[in-house]
Amino acid sequence: MRQHRLEFIKPGQVAVKAGAAPRPAAGQVLVQTHYSAISPGTEMLVYRGQWPPGVTVDATIGTLAGAFAYPLAYGYSAVGRVIATGPAVSDDWLNRRVFAFQPHQDLFCAEPSTLHPIPDDLDDETALFLPSMETAVNLLLDGGPLIGEKVIVVGQGIIGLLTTALLSRFPLAALATLDAHPLRREASMRLGAGACFDPEDQDFFTRLGGIQGQGGDADLVYELSGNPAGLNTALSLTRFSGRVVVGSWYGAKKVDLDLGSFFHRGRVSLISSQVSSLAPGLTGRWQNNRRLHLAWEMLRQVHPSACITHRFALADASLAYALIDRSPGETIQVIFDHRPAGEV
């Protein structure tokens, strides 16, 4: 048995490296990966070489600790099955389906404490969306939508779509979304948006209640497009004393903000949101385990596996990343199928 592992070699180039299969240490298990999901936001920053200098890869995930440098094994959404255990691990772990925050590879060793058993009523492809759903839950915790509010979500990639799906369960006055790609606009409507607009349309701003230089009528706007220009759009659609939650990570891309018009007098709150931490004001009642449990439950309700648009073998990773990079309008969620050919 051999291990196959994806590495980002340099901007625009990935490679699959083969090596000897790892053996679990005494306190570890060996997991055979079934699927792993590409993050079209963070991973594309790595693929394009847009990682900001001096920023660690991810201090909250042990497999991604350390400074960013090519070549880099990256990825944080893998599901598979435990196929071997170290002598200090209970045999109860054998054959368990698990989720792991692991780079793209078909075999890996991990301590059981870092793994999340997949509930029996969820399939592997649904479980792949756990990190994205946990991010969406965190975005709602940070934004704090209230009954009767008007909410707009800018960007309908997978994070934007899951955020829209959760917001649609609130008794809002209105829920609208923005995205440039028809495929994502259609998915947005299926997942509960009351309306979805193309930001390239000249009248989208006025149709969403915006008045040039005077803001809009949205109480809460989420900026999840990954495009720095989306933040100006979000600010322009927000009403006096409204909130803008920035869930996008722009990496090394610079943001040129218009803060000299409505924002200056509008008392708009700009809130950063990132899933590696909970808002300090919530930590008396919320912990990571509570948020994770809620993310599992929301996966049951939303069934996001319908958002998978493409499946690639790991050997075709170059094609997968090139597709996302060059034709983002054709994709929502792209995954790798690590199972041997013919296995169901």
Instruction: Give 194-231 pLDDT, tens digit per residue.
Output: 999 999 888 888 888 777 767 789 999 999 998 888 89
Give the pLDDT mean for 232-245.
93
The model's pLDDT over 173-193, given as tens digits with 9 standing for 90+, comes to: 999 999 999 999 999 999 999
pLDDT over 90 at 105, yes or no: yes
Using alpha carbons, select from 239, 206, 203, 207 the residue that is nearest to residue 221: 239
Strand 116-117 versus strand 97-100 pairing type:
antiparallel
CATH 3.90.180.10 maps onto the chain at 2-118+303-337
Instruction: Note the Cα 255 to chain centre separation in Å.
Output: 21
Higher pLDDT, 53 or 167: 167
Quote the CA–CA distance of 98 and 294 in Å, as a whole number: 17
pLDDT over 60 at 59, yes or no: no
State percent of the chain over pLDDT 70. 94
pTM equals: 0.93
Give the pLDDT mean for 149-155.
97
State percent of the chain over pLDDT 90. 76
Quote the CA–CA distance of 153 and 140 in Å, as a whole number: 11
| Weakest-pLDDT range from 106-120, 151-165, 266-280 | 266-280
Question: Predicted confidence band at 342 (pLDDT cuts at 50, 70, 90)?
Answer: low
The CATH architecture of the domain made up of 2-118+303-337 is Alpha-Beta Complex (3.90)
DSSP 50-76: -PPTT-BS-TTSGGG-SB--SSB----
What CA–CA distances, in Å, run from 74 to 24, 62, 120? 21, 12, 28
Question: Predicted confidence band at 66 (pLDDT cuts at 50, 70, 90)?
Answer: low
State residue 53's pLDDT score: 73
- Helix then strand then coil, % of the chain, to nearest 5: 30, 25, 40
How high does pLDDT run on average in the chain? Answer: 92
Residue 59: how many other CB atoms lie within 10 Å? 11
Question: Predicted confidence band at 57 (pLDDT cuts at 50, 70, 90)?
Answer: low
Quote the CA–CA distance of 67 and 54 in Å, as a whole number: 7
Quote the CA–CA distance of 45 and 219 in Å, as a whole number: 30
Query: To 5 degrees, how large is the angle CA 143–CA 76–CA 35?
Result: 120
Overall size of the chain counted in residues: 344
Q: What is the CA radius of gyration of the chain?
A: 21
pLDDT over 60 at 290, yes or no: yes
Contacts of 171 (CB under 8 A, 6+ apart): 147, 148
Helix-then-strand count for the chain, H and E: 10, 15
Query: To 5 degrees, how large is the angle CA 326–CA 331–CA 335?
Result: 105
The CATH architecture of the domain made up of 144-280 is 3-Layer(aba) Sandwich (3.40)
| Weakest-pLDDT range from 8-17, 115-124, 252-261, 299-308 | 252-261
CATH 3.40.50.720 maps onto the chain at 144-280
Give the pLDDT mean for 262-285.
89
Q: Are 86 and 24 within 8 A, CB to CB? A: yes
Higher pLDDT, 264 or 104: 104
State residue 41's pLDDT score: 87
Residue 61: how many other CB atoms lie within 10 Å? 16
Give the pLDDT mean for 304-313.
97
Would the CA dihedral through 225, 226, 229, 232 be positive or negative?
positive
Higher pLDDT, 81 or 252: 81
Quote the CA–CA distance of 344 and 340 in Å, as a whole number: 9
pLDDT over 90 at 259, yes or no: no
* Enclosing H/E stretch for 177: strand 174-178
